[in-house]
Amino acid sequence: MLSRVADSIFWMSRYIERAENVARFVEVNWHLSLDSTDRAEAQWMALIATSGDEEEFTKRYGRATIENVIQFLTFDTANTNSILSCVRSARENARAVRDTISSEMWEQLNIFYLMMNDSAPSGKALETPFEFFGQVKMASHLFCGITDTTMSHNEGWNFSRLGRCLERTDKTSRILDVKYYMLSGNGAKMPITDDIQWAAVLKSASAFEMYRKRHRRISPDRVVEFLLLDREFPRAVMACLLTSNEALHAITGTPAGSYSCPAERQLGLLHSELGYAQVEEILEGGLHEYVDRLQTKLNDIGDAINETFFALRHKGVTAIIERPLQ
């Protein structure tokens, strides 16, 4: 597969996943703001912190009102992480690989893009946020399902899975980090037991129902354990790393348990680290510090993937990704 094609498919999936995650975060926060108004601005600012864009937001918008945050995270084209910007970037990457992806994928992505463009001037996100953000999530789910059912499960599909799962890992860890920090009184060891707030953390990862089936009662340590270490829930960090590792090995053809490039080695090390981790040790050492190290390692894995598979396109060389000789 051409390096530029793999690059476009990888980022197409990452951008769609990012758009869906932002939509879920905003929707959950909006519902939460209906139940509590005493620290509404802090709640909305925490959402900006999840995206990592506090400095840009503060410079351009100032206060973290509902209207400002929703505009910034949903339709602001100057914000590269807004939903509209992500869908636009995904569409541009898809356009570059029209002959590789299926027609159904291209059509669904265009429907998604047109929906976002039509909604931008109408104020629909503020008038009917539950309906609007529900449509964004469903558009992403449809694209994901169409990809899995209409695209050959070859290298391109595995790059799509790899991009999607790395993005999920990043966003699940971010929302857990920010919310835990808020609910623990700015980093204290013992977090506040607030069922509504912790339910919101779970809902931000679409994990509320599956968590209740597993643990029933909400407790902070079990929420952290579920979102970080669960192997079966598809948005948990551990489950995402399992899928990412599987996709990467399928791309390279390297047998499980070995590696042929820095990306495989780094992803394997992180996967093994979480595989033997215990939530009590993570919380004792500080969740923020643990997640901060996790995100640094995820960034390193992303850089290694870029260097291994995509970087040659930027040096004026058309690279072809090949499986190593067995």
Residue-wise pLDDT for 98-112, tens only, equals 999 999 999 999 999
CB 168 within 8 A of CB 240: yes
Least confident of 129-138, 190-199, 228-237, 272-281: 190-199
CA angle 245, 12, 83 (to 5 degrees): 115
Q: Among 129, 151, 173, identify where a domain stops.
A: 151
Q: For residue 169, what is the enclosing H or E element? A: helix 155-183
Is 172 in the same domain as 78?
no
Q: What is the mean pLDDT of residues 224-238?
A: 96
Using the structure block, give the residue that is written with the tokens 């100032």: 62
Q: How many domains does the chain have?
A: 2
Domain boundary among 128, 151, 174: 151
**Looking at 48-57, 153-162, 279-288, which range is the least confident one?**
48-57
Are residue 122 and residue 186 in the same domain, yes or no?
no
Q: Whole-angstrom Cα distance, residue 228 to residue 224?
A: 6
Statement to judge: residues 293 and 181 lie in one domain:
yes
